[in-house]
């Protein structure tokens, strides 16, 4: 108890934020009086520093080293500045240049300003976004402004009590998010910072990014369509889920020729409390209910939904057959959207070679088949856009978790805004041809087989449960999954897979199914990615889909049993 209280008192003396100082002082006083809950809370907050990894920082707001707060952010900024000054040559040959963006979450603007003060104090040219803006705009600015690094203060689609800190690198990293071992190198500089009081923070000297840069991003997002400004007949409902993407999406769609756009009014303005959703992630049940209701009222053709920092895109379209016991609208799976975008870009290439299509090992294998049929190279990477964005010649990349990169020359990261514009173009073209996106998906199934995907996740309180489950699975590999014999087993920690080592297991079965089991990189979850592939016989797509659905159900059952969770 004394050790924790001593650490807390030391941290309190150095904390520059009156709000977190008051919060921590109250906890210390309660723990000093013997309050077991307060002592346990202190124990958690001082169990170690919030880990700086390839996703940067992300965690709950609050006082202490294991929370997101000004002290932690100032240390992170100082560590990044130290890394840049010691390990990287400036892109422009002069001073290092850093661009800082932020969303509308609690603390985001303050964390951005603290970062600007630290960077400027370290002699780095610092450019700050003029207002809360989407993550893709920051990623664009890193490339546009020839920056050495970019900082985005956001927790993406995490709960309201969280915030985070993403880092991008320019130069030979091309504006991509950091990867190992760079994360560990930056973390080592962060660990060398012991007191925020010792860090030089400038009171001014940074520059506000001009509106011309934001305008250039919107123009680039609109330019992913053919003949921007051409009027397109498509009624769109859009929700930004209380995030910062609303204005950018509306502007990009307008410049691309989409004038019939209806934002969800209750969710259009940024609100860090996300009052209309239980969880600000468009994948979560109920998150886009207001958008679907508006789509019904307006007789819309499509619903487009972004997460709060607008780097992801969710899509819903009218269901194949509306019945009283079946929802009128249906959300497309991330793999379905990835396949649609990939097909659209392949067709737009018109037989030329646009570059390389990229998907992650947990995404559907359908994109690979689409690429092969159009004589386009295809590569699989580990999960995360930090890997996708680094593939040489990248033309299009996606991961099943609603992330799509459709314009890598502008943004080397997932971008829910340019993806929304491109998907809208495909939907409008399809509608003009008297068809639907379901028809396009059926066409893909006839050509390449039904590729049905699903996910099974286990959220845990104790991370040791994930470690134990992975160890058990390695020692007791299942001989069959979903009623089919396992024909190949790959431990993704081994170099023989041709990928950087990662904690994961991949199984292939005799009937073409695939299962990948891996711990989540951002949440206390064990994730299992399932895919069943079924050829279409006698043009009966519905029958093939039914077989694939049954195989997925069987895979879910067998994987759950194999993991003993």
Give the residue numbers annotated as catalytic, written as ranges: 156
Query: Tell me, what DSSP letter sits at residue 333?
Result: P
Task: Answer for the pair 313, 305: CB distance below 8 angstroms, yes or no.
Answer: yes
DSSP-based three-state secondary structure for 270: coil
Q: Is the peptide bond before 181 cis (omega within 30 degrees of 0)?
A: yes
Q: What stretches of 135-246 adopt beta strand conformation (E)?
A: 149-153, 162-169, 176-177, 207-208, 236-239
DSSP-based three-state secondary structure for 359: strand
| CA atoms of 423 and 405, how far apart (whole Å) | 12
Task: Answer for the pair 509, 479: CB distance below 8 angstroms, yes or no.
Answer: no
| CA atoms of 220 and 144, how far apart (whole Å) | 11
Task: Answer for the pair 502, 381: CB distance below 8 angstroms, yes or no.
Answer: no
Between CA 492 and CA 497, with CA 494 as vertex, the angle to 5 degrees is 65
Task: Answer for the pair 111, 102: CB distance below 8 angstroms, yes or no.
Answer: yes
DSSP 490-529: EETTSGGGSS---S-EEEEETTS-EEEEEE-SSSSEEEEE
CA distances from 363 to 54, 519, 531 (A): 20, 15, 9
Produce one character per residue of 94-124: b if its CB has 16 or more CB atoms within 10 Å, e if not. eebbbbbbbbbbbbbbbbbbbbbbbbbbbeb
| CA atoms of 464 and 92, how far apart (whole Å) | 46
Token pair 């019904």 is found at 296
Task: Answer for the pair 425, 256: CB distance below 8 angstroms, yes or no.
Answer: yes
| CA atoms of 498 and 506, how far apart (whole Å) | 13
CA distances from 463 to 280, 356, 391 (A): 24, 37, 32
Query: Tell me, what DSSP letter sits at residue 173?
Result: G
Of 72, 457, 425, 439, which is closest to residue 234 (Cα–Cα)? 425
Taking the CA atoms of 40, 41, 43 and 44 in sequence, report the sign of the dihedral they define: positive
């Amino acid at each position: 108890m004394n050790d924790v209280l001593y650490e807390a008192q030391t941290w309190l003396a150095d904390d520059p934020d009156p709000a977190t100082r008051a919060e921590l002082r109250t906890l210390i006083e309660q723990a000093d009086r013997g309050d077991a809950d307060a002592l346990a809370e202190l124990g958690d907050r001082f169990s170690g520093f919030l880990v700086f990894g390839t996703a940067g920082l992300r965690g709950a707001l609050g006082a202490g080293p294991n929370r997101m707060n000004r002290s932690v952010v100032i240390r992170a900024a100082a560590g990044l500045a130290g890394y840049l000054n010691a390990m990287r040559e400036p892109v422009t040959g002069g001073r290092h240049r850093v661009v800082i963006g932020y969303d509308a979450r609690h603390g985001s603007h303050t964390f951005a300003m603290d970062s600007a003060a630290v960077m400027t104090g370290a002699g780095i040219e610092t450019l700050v976004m003029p207002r809360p803006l989407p993550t893709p705009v920051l990623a664009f600015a890193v490339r546009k402004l020839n920056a050495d690094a970019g900082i985005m203060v956001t927790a993406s689609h995490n709960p309201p009590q969280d915030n985070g800190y993403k880092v991008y690198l320019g130069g030979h990293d091309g504006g991509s998010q950091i990867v190992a071992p760079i994360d560990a190198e930056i973390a080592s500089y962060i660990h060398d910072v012991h007191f925020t009081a010792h860090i030089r923070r400038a009171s001014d000297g940074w520059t506000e990014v001009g509106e011309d840069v934001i305008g250039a991003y919107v123009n680039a997002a609109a330019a992913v369509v053919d003949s921007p400004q051409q009027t397109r007949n498509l009624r769109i409902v859009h929700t930004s889920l209380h995030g910062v993407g609303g204005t950018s999406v509306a502007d990009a769609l307008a410049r691309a020729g989409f004038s019939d756009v209806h934002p969800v009014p209750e969710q259009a303005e940024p609100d860090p409390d996300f009052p209309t959703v239980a969880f600000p992630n468009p994948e979560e049940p109920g998150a886009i209910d207001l958008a679907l209701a508006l789509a019904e009222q307006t007789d819309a053709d499509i619903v487009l939904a972004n997460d709060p920092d607008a780097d992801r895109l969710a899509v819903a379209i009218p269901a194949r057959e509306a019945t009283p016991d079946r929802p009128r609208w249906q959300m497309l799976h991330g793999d379905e959207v990835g396949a649609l975008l990939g097909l659209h870009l392949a067709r737009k290439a018109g037989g030329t070679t646009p570059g390389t299509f990229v998907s992650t090992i947990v995404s559907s294998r359908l994109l690979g088949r689409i690429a092969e049929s159009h004589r386009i190279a295809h590569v699989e990477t580990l999960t995360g856009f930090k890997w996708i964005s680094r593939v040489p010649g990248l033309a299009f990349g996606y991961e099943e978790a609603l992330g799509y990169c459709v314009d890598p020359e502008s943004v080397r990261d997932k971008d829910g805004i340019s993806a929304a514009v491109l998907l809208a173009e495909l939907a409008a073209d399809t509608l003009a041809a008297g068809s639907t996106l379901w028809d396009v998906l059926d066409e893909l199934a006839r050509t390449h087989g039904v590729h049905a995907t699903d996910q099974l996740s286990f959220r845990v309180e104790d991370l040791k449960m994930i470690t134990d489950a992975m160890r058990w699975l390695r020692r007791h590999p299942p001989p069959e999954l979903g009623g089919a014999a396992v024909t190949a087993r790959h431990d993704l920690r081994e170099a023989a897979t041709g990928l950087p080592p990662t904690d994961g297991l991949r199984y292939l079965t005799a009937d073409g199914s695939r299962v990948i089991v891996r711990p989540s990189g951002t949440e206390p979850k064990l994730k299992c990615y399932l895919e069943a592939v079924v050829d279409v016989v006698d043009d009966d797509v519905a029958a093939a889909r039914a077989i694939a659905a049954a195989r997925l159900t069987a895979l879910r059952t067998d994987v759950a049993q194999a993991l003993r969770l």
